[in-house]
Chains A and B, each alone.
Chain A
Amino acid sequence: MKLRLLIYILGAITGLTACIERDNSEFTDIPIIKSYLRPGDCLRLNVSRQIPFSYNVSYSSDDIDDLKITVTNNNIDYILTPLGGGNYIDSSLIVAEGERYDLFCIYNSKNVTAYTEVPLKPFNFKQSATSISVMRMDSTTVPTGGGGMWVMPEPLKLTWVNNDDTYYILVIENMEETLDPVRDFGDDKMPEWRFRKAPTTSSGIQMRPQEFQYFGNHRIILYHVLPDYASLYDENTASSQNLTNPSTSIMNGYGIFTGLNADTLYLYVNEQ
């Protein structure tokens, strides 16, 4: 009798749980917005859809090229013009240093918002040398010079003023039309003609000459960026316990909507 009662109860519970509706809406169609707001440029942005990890997802019916995107600056609303391919522009809206820009649109019945402020141009950006020397190496070159004393080359010091611990990022570009590598890469993939240093909140950086992979003229661009851009460089791992994605100011959206400002220095890399 008791056993039967137990079976009934178990059966009832199992039946109940079988009917639980599982919310398997694993995919939510949220737009990706990408825009760098640089002083002097007109405001451009790109809207795209996520690439889903699973099949059988349904996107919203919103047309990616027919969104009403408003950017507000100084209490004036600018409605961006679609260019196709998810690109939008307002050529009348020239981005200015220190200004705040608010974005608004409706996508998948949700209000997508974001805002940013254009940081100030880097101040007092200086270099310790306008040229450096790097030894050309091939597969037979021994850096120690055959047992002689190997002299550590003087590093390049780049400094700027950063009193408020804001983020800066350096991008170094080789400006030569023909790339002249400092060593023989053999079958290895050639390094990129431009590279970056990790975002920093310091007011200077030292670069070893060995970091330069090509001889010739280089452009050193110091970007003054906002924390949301700096966070794009964070590492990517995730679990259901600590899932994370890059920090963004965009609500109901992903991507980057951030202001930045830059200053540039030039450097020549000689052969030693």
Chain B
Amino acid sequence: MIRKIGQKILSFPPRLLLVSLSILFSGILTAQQKEYSFNSPGSKCYFNYVCFTADSNYTMKRRPFIFILGEENVTARELFERDTLKNSAQFMNYYFVYLPGSGTTGGHKLGCIEALASLLTYNFRYGRSNLFFQVNDTIIKRNDINLHGLRTVFKSIRFSAEDNLLAENGLGTGAIQDDFKEAVSEYGPEEKVVEDLAKYYVEETDDYVSEYDTVEEKPQKIFFGAPETFNYTLTGIIHDQSTGEALPFASIRILGTIIGTTTNTDGYFTLLKVPTDTSTLIVQYVGYEKTPVFLTPMAPKKNLSINIRPQSQTLSEVKITAYKDDVVFVKKAEVSTIKLTPMKMEQLPAIGERDIMRSFQLMPGISASNESSSGLYVRGGTPDQNLVLYDGFTVYHVDHLYGFFSAFNSNALKDIQLYKGGFESRFGGRISSVTEITSKEGNQKAINFGFDISMLSTNLFVEIPAGTKFSSFLAFRKSYQGSVYNLIFNKFNRSRTEDAPDVGTGPGRRFSQNEDIYSYFYDLNGKLTYKPTDKDIISLSFFNGTDKLDNSFSSDIPSFGQFNANFSMNSVDLTSYGNIGTSLKWSRRWNSKLYGNTILSYSNYYNKRDRSSERNLINPGNESSTSMSGIFENNDLKDYSLKSDYQLEMTSFSQFQFGTFATSYDIKYSYALSDTATILDRDGRAILGGAYLQNRIKLLKDRLQVLPGIRLNYFESTDKFYIEPRASVTFNITDRLILKGSTGKYYQFANRVMREDIMSGSKEFWILSDGNSVPVSSSVHFIAGFSYEAENYTFSAEGYYKKINNLTEYSLRINASPIRMDYNENFFNGYGYSQGLEFLVQKNSGNLNGWISYTLGEAKNQFNEYSDDYFPANQNVTHEFKIVGLYKYRRWDFSANWIYATGRPYTAPSGAYTVTLLDGTEQDFFTVTAKNSILLPDYHRFDISATYKLLMGKKGDKRRRELGFVSFTLFNVYNHRNIWYKQFTIVEGEVIETNINYLGITPNFALSLKLR
């Protein structure tokens, strides 16, 4: 109330009125002072002091300070009560600090004052030009001031005992109104707040490094007093300082302990056992500076807002890291989790685009030798067994352009977590792994936009905040038929030219062939975020990715054959596929212990393929006949979901997470060879619903974390309940060494089934389990491992075993029944397992950093129809070795990676036999090797890239805003012919084997520019 009145009056009143009012209210104002202790009893600097501001605002530090040191043996309280300066109209907006006149020597007192001044002014955040010191203690001499360096701390120092004495060198220059006059223009770097809206880069010439080090404002401990609150609960949110984006899954640890937590998807955290309100928090997030946060009794204990800075200044950290739970985060060790932030992904070599999926493929346990799949092969699992969640909705297909690029535009993404196995109960519906993607909310402080252009696509994004409660983000990317696009497109369609009609070019025969191919992909990402209160966040996210691949052609062939008949042929080869997804999410912090969010989402994946020929024959009698044949394939998946997730901090050692979910599936698949010959036509509709409960328990002084959980599903198609018990455990043997383990049962209700195809290549389609021909697949995981944090290195190793049941494949080559023709019977079911060991050594500091990983793996399946025994699964890779090096030199980032993987298995023709048909002709057939019994040659490639930062300003400027980058990548530097697959043609009993190769040496250039 008082503040309100004061503000009003201050805004426009005659000074006289103000003075009289301030006197009038002075009696009340005295009640607003605050008394604190500085340091603990026993400390040389232990004393009580009193702070006072007329407006009761003790957090606003951009104002003048007057420190008053009392006479000998006068307490701070007494001094405060005696003081009249605070009633002066001139000093209405000043911050007064009253110090007791204690101690025996001047040094005793003065030695503590700079620390206190630093504490109260947030480490002199707004400079020192408005800090004033009034010394009432007569013991203190000018020499004492000089001795303790206080001349540099305060702008003016006055001695009451020497009142009116003109001191030398600024020690009092006349009237107090002049000496302690506020100099508004002299406040420190206020513009710094504006500066931090962008990423900055410091020219690392030798000159500037040293200068920068002294200028850079580092957080420092500023409170040396005794704590006031013990073992309390602290809640807060972590933001990116430059954009205001909340940071999900950031780690917070209390320095000197192993107490810690991570933020949730909305950036909120709850720390239950903060020992004192003077503890120090260490906040860490990939791609950001490791930031200490010094708590003080004055800091808020609820909704503490912590801002951390992107790592632009240091540019030395590894951008992707096994969520290594290093010495800082030992407490929150997660099993088999990798975290990635797209912030500096441009540093890694890329074929055409920065790509999150490709970046993950450089980590152990994730296959890197499938250039034609952006979907992740995690620990012997197939991409459909990896749950991809984008802002809460499931994405069913992640490929662009035959899989060479992922559907995710890295400009739109904020955070990606990959759980390679043994994942928690809050995730479900997949049997291998989880990729959880959080998109950007958009800059919350200022408008931002940018664009990228590469030899594959152009990419635009814009971020528009509106007020403090609303932010928006929109990104659009579209390919163009540049060199990289064509390289891949043509590679995939090389057979196209061979499909041209072979009609010869003899006399009287002529044909024309028109090819008008237009193919592209695009994607659109957007998000609107509204924060109506401090406790609520409402966000609407949408995503649309589309690929259109057109490889059609038409031919007109007059005078074809022996009759004068006109023949024309239209060959259509049109594939269009994509995703449309959207989610509406409401998050709410109900109180400091309960946090929840509810997501309503829709996801649609569609894939339409029309590879057909329309033949038009017009005979001389003008009778025309039209025939159509080919492949018509249509897969349309719709997923409507509603789910709620809650997090309840029950006690300091137990956190419950629980939730419910319901999904309505509608998955259609049809496959036809002509208008009339339909092979498969399925429409699966069912509801999947359920609930989960998990409890994160911390024992043995937080060294042991156990996470048991259970997930219950009800699936309408089978009318059955499916129970998934899961558990994980991490144990900190020391602060550096962590043992981890997890196990769990997993079910999958919507599966992507492979359909073998003779002419057009195998295709996969999504289909809903029906409990019969396509059973509900399941797996059991067992994972154990350890990680060790050395000074600059992380070592980790994990072993896994995964048992999989009810795998499904679709094949027309095996006759389910030689008697009845029912294509619905051509679903075959089997089982399998995968097992392996993963090793990772990561260097995570210094100009040269990177990692080395090695995976020993095995994935085998067993289908009775294929073989009596286990055979290697298509994705089986025995050895995979990856080395990634990143080197920073001034504005350059260089990187290189080398990937080596043993070849994947395949099946080949092994022999032939002849059958005499009923018409007497003899037909040759071939036999095949045992399923997947042969290995392709080993896969290896070496990629390099160089990225040069583009900076605003001119050379010599101390800090230069990052404007973007140019990057040059050379993919497959030594042009190794990696084999994608082999093609066999049997001509007159001879097998002609053709290697279809992956990309050879491919250069790419990219330019990225942005406003901030």
Contact = CB atoms under 8 A, between A and B. Distances in A.
Contact of A235 (B759, B902, B917): B759
B504 interface: no
Interface string A52-81: 111001000000000000000000000000
Interface string A233-272: 0111111111111111100101111101000000000000
Interface stretch (A88-96, A124-132, A162-170): A162-170
B934 A20 contact: no
A231 B934 contact: no
A53 B924 CA distance: 13
Contact of A169 (B820, B900, B918, B938): B918
A171 interface: yes
Contacts of A242: 756-758, 761-762
Interface string B914-934: 011111110111111110011
A256 B915 contact: yes
Contacts of B912: 50-51, 53
Interface stretch (B162-170, B950-958, B984-992): B984-992
Interface in A113-133: 114-117
Contact of A144 (B564, B817, B926, B996): B564
Contact of B813 (A167, A201, A226, A244): A244
B808 to A, nearest CB: 17
A152 B927 CA distance: 45
Nearest to A248: B815
A255 B913 CA distance: 8
Nearest to A30: B927
Most chain B CB atoms below 10 A, which of A227, A238, A256, A257: A238
A267 B762 CA distance: 44
Contact of B985 (A26, A114, A231, A237): A237
Contacts of B868: 110, 252
B619 A51 contact: no
A87 B405 CA distance: 56
Most chain A CB atoms below 10 A, which of B623, B883, B926: B926
A195 interface: yes
Q: How large is the interface on A (under 10, 10 to 19, 20 to 34, 35 or more residues)?
A: 35 or more
Contact of B878 (A20, A52, A244): A20
Interface in B938-984: 938, 981-984
Nearest to B987: A236
Interface string B885-924: 0000000000000001010001111111101111111011
Contacts of B933: 23, 25-26, 28
Contacts of A256: 915
B42 interface: no
B934 A249 contact: no
Contacts of A110: 868
Interface string A19-50: 01011111110101010100000000000101
A223 interface: yes
A235 to B, nearest CB: 6
A25 B905 CA distance: 12
A227 B815 CA distance: 8
Most chain A CB atoms below 10 A, which of B619, B868, B909: B909
A240 B758 contact: no
A16 B902 CA distance: 11
B812 interface: yes
B814 interface: yes
Most chain B CB atoms below 10 A, which of A13, A50, A221, A240: A240
Interface in A185-218: 192, 194-196, 201
B27 interface: no
A249 B757 CA distance: 19
A258 B936 contact: no
Given A20-B879, A228-B815, A247-B813, A34 B758 contact: no
A9 interface: yes
A247 B934 CA distance: 22
A223 B923 CA distance: 18
Interface residues of B, number: 68
B620 interface: yes
B907 A243 contact: yes
B821 interface: yes
A240 B915 contact: no
B99 interface: no
Contact of A32 (B621, B623, B913): B913
B852 interface: yes
A232 B984 contact: no
B493 to A, nearest CB: 15
B934 A235 contact: no
Nearest to B994: A239
B127 to A, nearest CB: 45
Contacts of B485: none
A207 B928 CA distance: 38
A232 B922 CA distance: 11
Contacts of A227: 815, 817-821
B854 interface: yes
B563 interface: yes
A34 B915 contact: yes
Contacts of B818: 114-117, 226-228, 248-249, 257-258
B881 interface: yes
B2 interface: no
A227 B822 CA distance: 10
B819 A117 contact: yes
Contacts of A13: 854, 879, 881, 900
A194 B917 CA distance: 12
Contact of B936 (A16, A116, A166, A240): A240
A251 B920 CA distance: 26
Contact of A223 (B563, B916, B918, B934): B918
A150 B918 contact: no
B935 interface: yes
A17 interface: yes
Nearest to B867: A252
A238 B909 contact: yes
Nearest to B815: A247
Contact of A9 (B819, B852, B915, B934): B852
Nearest to A193: B920
Contacts of B759: 235, 237
B928 A243 contact: yes
A254 B927 contact: yes
Contact of A245 (B813, B916, B934): B813
Nearest to B927: A50
A143 interface: yes
A228 B826 CA distance: 13
A246 B813 contact: yes
Contacts of A225: 918
Most chain B CB atoms below 10 A, which of A6, A51, A52, A241: A241
Nearest to A28: B930
Nearest to A246: B925
B930 A240 contact: no
Nearest to B865: A251
A233 B934 CA distance: 28
A190 to B, nearest CB: 15
B913 A48 contact: yes
Contacts of B982: 239-240
B499 to A, nearest CB: 12
A116 B818 CA distance: 6
Given A13-B854, A34-B916, A51-B989, 20 more contacts: A6-B852, A13-B881, A23-B935, A26-B929, A26-B933, A27-B911, A48-B913, A53-B909, A53-B912, A166-B821, A169-B918, A192-B921, A201-B821, A223-B918, A227-B821, A232-B923, A239-B761, A241-B981, A247-B813, A255-B913
11 contacts: A26-B908, A26-B910, A27-B910, A28-B910, A48-B913, A192-B919, A238-B984, A240-B981, A241-B761, A241-B762, A243-B907
Interface of A: 6, 9, 13, 16-17, 20, 22-28, 30, 32, 34, 36, 48, 50-54, 57, 110, 114-117, 143-144, 150-152, 165-167, 169, 171, 192, 194-196, 201, 221, 223, 225-229, 231-232, 234-249, 252, 254-258, 260
